[in-house]
Structure 1
């Protein structure tokens, strides 16, 4: 396990900073953050194996895996359960629900990765990782963090949408509005000077005001 962990004073990783490094045993062998260099990665935690909400999430991630792969994005699950519990759970999901889990699951018995990524929230889950999801880009930079309570499952299509939106913003130097989907118009960055603000209306965008303009890609 690397000690080169970049977190803020609250023990949480920081957006737009290098994601905390890790090396951990998984259901697919040892995995390190560097193994994903050049690819996007969605790292997500769940409170425990053999729990019903987590089972629905893992099946949804599995079914969406081809969509993530089209985005050059891999999936990596985590809980503080053992490798053996992970293997048994994956086999149980295949037997009971007919769904193969195609991505690795980290064994994190010492909670090293969970602590590095701020997955342990006292008062919410003292002895297990909460439902946390981290989007790491192809350069190893942490781009998004989303936390859910123990009782409620995540919407996996939202993470497909989020990775797509982040990649669109990077490629085109734009922002995306609420609920954006591929094909929707994007938001043009606001002007940075008074002169540029005055000129914005005549630049051919879908203009509402100097700070709010859209365009089609």
Structure 2
């Protein structure tokens, strides 16, 4: 299965550290991030899961639920979580479930890394990231090799951008952060933009004479 942006994400039946879950029921009306890691009890994954747990309150503030996945049994997940908490100095209950996959989900979603294999020669899961909207559609996908850990600051940043642009007629430029100026989308005329953006917009003067770069203050900021 090859998922494209805008496709409806499958309603997965999942065996997890929180029991058997249905993806749509788990997400409810929230945004969701399903992310995979190659294997339990591995060093880079331990830092990533720790980072995701530390960011859990911020994801909650963004109405976004997390769920992890690897091809490991529940017992290994549960034991590894203790290592994650110890290494990353975390306390309390682990804030999101981990899926135990028999490669069914990983194969279905194209998450397997052909260059990383277990002791039996079977491929491991890559570091995939799927962002799912409240409408259950795929909003963003990232695929990292097993050797490269993810940047959770960037994942937070893109969630904020996705949520902003879902509700306002703007796009976010390179390195945008919440509160920075945004770009008015080309589909709006100047007259429409003047009506929509109370704080107005500024137009860049370019050699072409075309007024396609229009900046407006972040419309989500009061």
- After the TM superposition, which residues 16-165 of structure 1 pair with which residues of structure 2 at under 5 Å, given as runs? 16-35=6-25, 36-100=27-91, 101-109=94-102, 111-125=103-117, 127-165=123-161
Distance 1:47 1:202 in 2: 49
Change (3 A) 1:201 1:33: closer
CA contact (8 A) 1:13 1:20 kept: no
Question: What residue is the counterpart of 2:207 in the other structure?
Answer: none
Distance 2:28 2:192 in 1: 39
The count of corresponding residues between Structure 1 and Structure 2 is: 202
Verify the 8 A CA contact 1:201 1:210 in the aligned structure 2: no
Q: Which runs of 5+ in 2 are unaligned?
A: 205-209
CA RMSD, Structure 1 to Structure 2 (Å): 2.1
CA change 1:201–1:89 in 2 (3 A) is closer
The 1:45–1:205 alpha-carbon spacing in structure 2 relative to 1, beyond 3 Å, is same
Contact 1:48/1:128, CA 8 A, preserved across alignment: yes
Per the TM alignment, residue 200 of structure 1 is displaced from its structure 2 partner at its CA by: 9.0
Q: Take 1:97 and 1:164, find their aligned partners in 2: how far apart are those partners?
A: 25
| CA displacement, residues 72-122 of structure 1 (integer Å, 9 cap, x when unaligned) | 00000000111111011012223444325311000002x111112210132
Counterpart-to-counterpart distance in 1, 2:15 and 2:193: 55
Q: Which runs of 4+ in 1 moved over 6 A?
A: 199-203
Give distance in 2, aligned partners of 1:164 and 1:97: 25
Q: Does 1:214 align with 2:215?
A: yes
Q: TM-score, normalised to structure 2's length?
A: 0.84
